[in-house]
Amino acid sequence: MLIRALQTFKDSIFPNKCLACSQFFHPETNNRPEKIPLQAMANDPIERVFCRVMGPFLCKACITNFSPVSSPYCTQCGRAFKTRSGSCHQCGDCIKKKPDYTHVRSMGIYDGTLMAVIHAFKYKHKIQLAGPLGRLLFSAFLKYDEIQNIDYVSPIPLHVSRLKNRGFNQAFLLIREWPDLIRAVHDAGNGENESSSIQINCKSLIRKTKTTSQTGLGKDQRAQNVKNAFQVAEPSLISGKRILLVDDVYTTGATAEECAKTLTASGAASVNVLTLARTD
């Protein structure tokens, strides 16, 4: 009771600053993201989960400026179709040239508030967003994948020089708390037969080549830029394993496709891709 009173007093004297528009605001809810029941995250629409998790960080106007990836979309590359009717199915591009990954899924479209939040996290060093954004990504994981069907969760690796320059791999920070979340789901009885021991693997897949930034490059240029840029350092760890690759943004898919190609060539049984956002 005292803690809640102190928090209310603090919020009234020192209002939050919206990460998207920089305006001061008073959150409509005092629920912290880590207190939101995992059952709600698994069952609620992504828009509602986004509002609940990001409530302490975004004003009322900005929090509604979020576009989830909604059906119908390609069952393989995850790209939303322009027509908003019909069911999900494989797109023409994936039929013509089958990707090395099994499927790509993303939580939202890379625009508006979601883009602003990811920019704050990635480029303005708002590391405190790693937990909330990681829980959002985990909610998308629960919707699109089955815990028992994944052996390893691996972040898309950065080259060592970029890692030193940035100071962190944003993809790793997004999944850092996932083992605890998975155990919580298991303990809550949401999957009696599900494994609660998915491992985070940051060692097997490495970026061996220092590539130029993908920003500003076209689809073909991006693919050429990352060609042969990755390497499996410990093939024995991924042989026969079902791997989930995680990143913050999916653009043309060149990086994800190259990573999946490298992993499957080294014996991975399957590779799925999950991101917070996608550009199309």
Q: Which two tokens stand for residue 160?
A: 């060592």
Q: Which helix (H) or strand (E) holds 275?
A: strand 270-278
Checking if the pLDDT of 193 tops 50, the result is no
**270-278/103-109 β-pairing:** parallel
Please, how many CA atoms are within 13 Å of residue 23, restricted to the half-sphere of its CB?
10
- Determine the average pLDDT of the residues in 120-124: 93
Measured from the Cβ of residue 32, the count of other Cβ atoms closer than 10 Å reads 13
Report the predicted TM-score, pTM, of the whole model to 2 decimal places: 0.90
CA–CA distance, 87 with 71 (Å, rounded to integer): 7
Question: How does pLDDT run across 125-183, given as a tens digit for each residue?
Answer: 899 999 999 999 999 999 998 888 999 999 999 999 988 888 899 999 999 999 988 88
Q: Has residue 192 got a pLDDT over 60?
A: no
Higher-scoring residue by pLDDT: 90, 41: 90
How many Å from the N-terminal Cα to the C-terminal Cα in the chain? Answer: 46
CA 93, chain centre distance (Å): 23
pLDDT range class, residue 18, cuts 50, 70, 90? very high
- Structure confidence at residue 43 (pLDDT): 81
Residue 277 · residue 247 · CB < 8 Å? no
Q: What pLDDT, on a 0 to 100 scale, did the predictor assign at position 90? A: 96
Among 29-33, 37-41, 81-85, 198-202, whose mean pLDDT is lowest?
29-33
Q: Is 174 exposed, middle or buried (0-12, 13-18, 19+ CB in 10 A)?
A: buried
Residue 172 · residue 147 · CB < 8 Å = no
User: Cα dihedral sign for 68, 72, 76, 80?
Assistant: negative
Of residues 223 and 100, which shows the higher confidence score?
100
256 confidence band (pLDDT: 50, 70, 90): very high
pLDDT value for 32: 60
For residue 269, which of 175, 147, 152 has the smallest C-alpha distance? 152
Residue-level pLDDT at 1: 53
- Write the Ramachandran bin of 186: left for phi over 0, alpha for psi from -120 to 50, otherwise beta: alpha
pLDDT tens string 207-247:
998 888 887 778 889 889 899 999 999 898 899 999 999 99
Element (H, E) at 25: strand 24-25
Would you state the pLDDT for residue 165? 87
pLDDT at 34 over 80: no
